[in-house]
């Protein structure tokens, strides 16, 4: 049934008018450019295409292992949790809730879905579309509430598993409240390392601009820190990044309101960074001008602050420098050949191992960095990026047993089912069997 629902929904969402409707609806509640909003709908549409026909059935593929004697075998099953909860943030109003909701349903659970109420109209419309495509109304519940009410609901309803996507603060609270029955997709302080082999400077600068500033930096995968090998210093990369950042404008939302960090908070964070010896503003660093964005939101030019590597690692500075600012803000630093150890130490000490990029085509360099890091979604090669997260690869943190994933069959199976093994032992009992002595 879910294969059929997915096929119908994928077809409907693929109609140009429907794609356009959802892209514009996303833009109304989560400020991002039309292209970024459209990409979110297209990823969702492709995801639904991936689970047409028998693909949902195949998600629950089981296996059998022969036993020790006639009549015995063990069967391993992917088993649903039953009643489950899904909580999602404001920044991807369609993609995150839809992909997690369908994953939960595909694996046979009954989910209650709570999307951030600022943006939940998008999923409300999507659920109507799913109903039209055959989703039985009683298969899921949809609740609109604030965080506190949802917290109470979880404590009283006691779902067997809760998938939470959002900030680390709430993630840790829920992990404690729900006694560990959670899977988490939380904050990202995502790093990019530019290796020693300088090439394709224009392309790399463009990817840096997209990674750091698309959606005004409000992606959990946004580039938060750039470690640049000294060889790139004379390549003009930083000047190119500055120029690209200056193309962004409020009119088309290529830069725009920041929903959860105020302008003052971003300026204060920047000023605290600037107290660190040797640090400086590379570009941006000022509020946006000529706008009517209310003060409760942020409005900041795309900003990059340089902080020397040795200073980042100092214990007094590390926490400050690696604080996730959910806005158009990144830290840039430089390292020399003999400082790669320090870069890897910094990456190891960060506690949100979500996405990462190793920008190099030097296989030994890649091997060194990949072998000593842990981020769940890591791009490697000269075209490496930190953002993008299409439906065709795993997206999620690594290094934390509570870490969830989104998008692929592996992510769906891991998050939305548990392993169960039934050992059949139907006999016959051999005729020669005699009562053994006590053991």
Ligand X SMILES: NC(=O)c1ccc[n+]([C@@H]2O[C@H](COP(=O)([O-])OP(=O)(O)OC[C@H]3O[C@@H](n4cnc5c(N)ncnc54)[C@H](O)[C@@H]3O)[C@@H](O)[C@H]2O)c1
The catalytic site residues sit at: 185, 220
Binder among 46, 173, 242, 323 for ligand X (CB under 6 A): 173
Nearer to ligand X, 189 or 283 (CB): 189
| Stretch 17-46: interaction string toward ligand X, x if CB under 6 A | ------------------------------
**CB under 6 A: which stretch of 22-30, 181-189, 307-315, 429-437 binds ligand X?**
181-189
Q: Which residues, in sequence order, are bridge partners of residue 143?
A: 114
Q: What is the DSSP string of 23-43?
A: HHHHHHHS---HHHHHHHHHH
Residues of span 58-97 touching ligand X by CB under 6 A: 87-91
Is there binding between residue 260 and ligand X (CB under 6 A)?
yes
* 405 is a contact residue toward ligand X (CB under 6 A): no
Closer by beta carbon to ligand X, 307 or else 354 = 354
As given in the structure block, the two tokens for residue 111 are: 């989910």
Distance CA 93, CA 123 (A): 7
Of residues 120-149, those binding ligand X (CB under 6 A): 146-147
192: region left, alpha or beta (phi > 0 left; psi from -120 to 50 alpha): beta
Which residues between 284 and 343 bind ligand X (CB under 6 A)?
324, 326
Q: Report the nearest approach of ligand X to the CB of residue 45 (Å).
A: 19
CA distance to 45, 340, 381, per residue, from 369 (Å): 34, 9, 12
For ligand X, the closer CB: 73 or 393: 393
The C-alpha atoms of residue 236 and residue 154 are separated, in whole angstroms, by 52
Interatomic CA distance for residues 134 and 376, integer angstroms:
35
Residue closest to ligand X, measured at CB: 147
Q: Which of 33, 145, 48 is nearest to 87 (CA)?
A: 145
Q: What is the closest distance, in whole angstroms, from the C-beta atom of residue 396 to ligand X in the complex? A: 6
Q: Contacting ligand X (CB under 6 A), which of 50, 55, 72, 151?
A: 151
360 vs 364: CA distance, rounded Å = 10
Distance, CA of 166 to CA of 429 (rounded, Å): 55
Residue 8 or 219 having the CB closest to ligand X: 219
Residue selected from 186, 190, 211, 334 as contacting ligand X according to rule CB under 6 A: 186
Nearer to ligand X, 167 or 231 (CB): 167
Kindly tell me which of 183 and 229 has the beta carbon lying closer to ligand X: 183
Contact in structure between 388 and 221 (CB atoms under 8 Å):
yes
Distance of alpha carbon 251 from alpha carbon 231, whole angstroms: 37
Q: Find the largest Cα–Cα distance for the chain.
A: 92
Residue 343 and residue 341: Cα distance in Å, rounded? 5
User: Residues 234-258, buried b or exposed e (16+ Cβ, 10 A)?
Assistant: ebebbebbbebbeebebeebbbbbb
Name which position in 43, 187, 307, 358 contacts ligand X (CB under 6 A): 187
Phi-psi map region of 163: left, alpha, beta (phi>0 left; psi -120 to 50 alpha) = beta
**Measured from the CB of residue 260, what is the shortest distance to ligand X in angstroms?**
4
Pick 184 or 226: Cβ nearer ligand X: 184
Strand ranges in 310-354 using DSSP code E only, listed in sequence order? 329-335
Could you tell me the smallest distance in angstroms from the CB atom of residue 290 to ligand X? 27
185 lies in the site for ligand X, by CB under 6 A: yes
Q: Applying CB under 6 A, which part among 14-22, 186-194, 274-282, 310-318 lies near ligand X?
A: 186-194
Which of 55, 72, 144, 167 is close enough to bind ligand X by CB under 6 A? Answer: 167
The nearer residue to ligand X, 340 or 352, going by C-beta atoms, is: 352
Sign of the dihedral through C-alpha 275, 206, 43, 347: negative
Q: CA of 119: how far to CAs of 55, 146, 317, in Å?
A: 30, 12, 35
Question: What minimum distance in Å lies between the beta carbon of 93 and ligand X?
Answer: 10
Regarding 354 and contact with ligand X (CB under 6 A), the answer is: yes
Q: Please, what is the minimum distance in Å from the beta carbon of residue 116 to ligand X?
A: 4
In the region spanning residues 209 to 228, those forming contacts with ligand X, defined by CB under 6 A, are: 220
Rounded to the nearest angstrom, the gap between the alpha carbon of residue 62 and the centroid of all alpha carbons in its chain is: 28
- Binds ligand X (CB under 6 A): choice among 31, 111, 166, 217: 166
Which parts of this chain interact with ligand X (CB under 6 A)? Answer: 87-91, 114, 116, 146-147, 150-151, 165-167, 170, 173-174, 185-188, 220, 260, 324, 326, 354
């Amino acid at each position: 049934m879910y294969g059929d629902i997915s096929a119908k929904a994928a077809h409907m969402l693929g109609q140009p008018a429907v794609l356009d409707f959802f892209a514009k609806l996303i833009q109304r509640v989560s400020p991002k450019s039309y292209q970024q909003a459209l990409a979110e709908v297209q990823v969702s549409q492709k995801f639904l295409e991936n689970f047409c026909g028998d693909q949902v059935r195949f998600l629950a593929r089981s296996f059998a292992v022969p036993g020790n004697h006639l009549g015995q075998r063990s069967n391993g099953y992917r088993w649903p949790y039953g009643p489950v909860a899904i909580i999602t943030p404001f920044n991807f109003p369609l993609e995150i809730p839809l992909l997690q909701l369908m994953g939960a349903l595909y694996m046979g659970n009954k989910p209650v879905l709570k999307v951030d109420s600022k943006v939940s109209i998008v999923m409300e419309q999507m659920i109507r579309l799913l109903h039209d495509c055959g989703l039985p109304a009683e298969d899921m519940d949809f609740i609109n509430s604030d965080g506190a009410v949802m917290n109470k609901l979880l404590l009283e309803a006691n779902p067997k598993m809760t998938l939470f996507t959002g900030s680390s603060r709430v993630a840790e609270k829920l992990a404690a409240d729900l006694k560990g029955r959670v899977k988490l997709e939380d904050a990202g302080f995502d790093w990019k390392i530019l290796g020693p082999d300088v090439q394709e400077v224009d392309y790399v600068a463009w990817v840096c601009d997209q990674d750091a500033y698309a959606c005004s930096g409000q992606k959990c995968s946004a580039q938060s820190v750039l470690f640049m090998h000294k060889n790139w210093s004379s390549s003009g990369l930083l000047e190119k990044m500055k120029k690209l950042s200056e193309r962004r404008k409020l009119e088309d939302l290529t830069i725009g309101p920041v929903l959860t960090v105020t302008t003052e908070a971003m300026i204060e964070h920047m000023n605290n960074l600037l107290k660190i010896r040797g640090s400086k503003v590379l570009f941006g660093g000022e509020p946006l001008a000529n706008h009517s964005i209310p003060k409760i939101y942020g409005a900041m030019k795309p900003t990059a602050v340089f902080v020397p590597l040795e200073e980042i690692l100092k214990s007094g500075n590390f926490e400050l420098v690696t604080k996730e600012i959910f806005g158009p803000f990144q830290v840039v630093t430089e390292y020399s050949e003999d400082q790669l150890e320090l870069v890897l130490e910094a990456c190891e000490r960060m506690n949100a191992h979500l996405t990462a990029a190793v920008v190099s085509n030097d296989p030994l360099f890649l091997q060194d960095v990949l072998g000593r890091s842990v981020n769940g979604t890591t791009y490697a090669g000269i075209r490496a990026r930190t953002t993008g997260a299409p439906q065709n690869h795993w997206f999620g943190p690594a290094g934390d047993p509570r870490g969830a994933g989104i998008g692929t069959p592996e992510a769906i199976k891991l998050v939305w089912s548990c392993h169960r093994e039934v050992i059949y032992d139907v006999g016959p009992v051999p005729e020669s069997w005699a009562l053994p002595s006590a053991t």
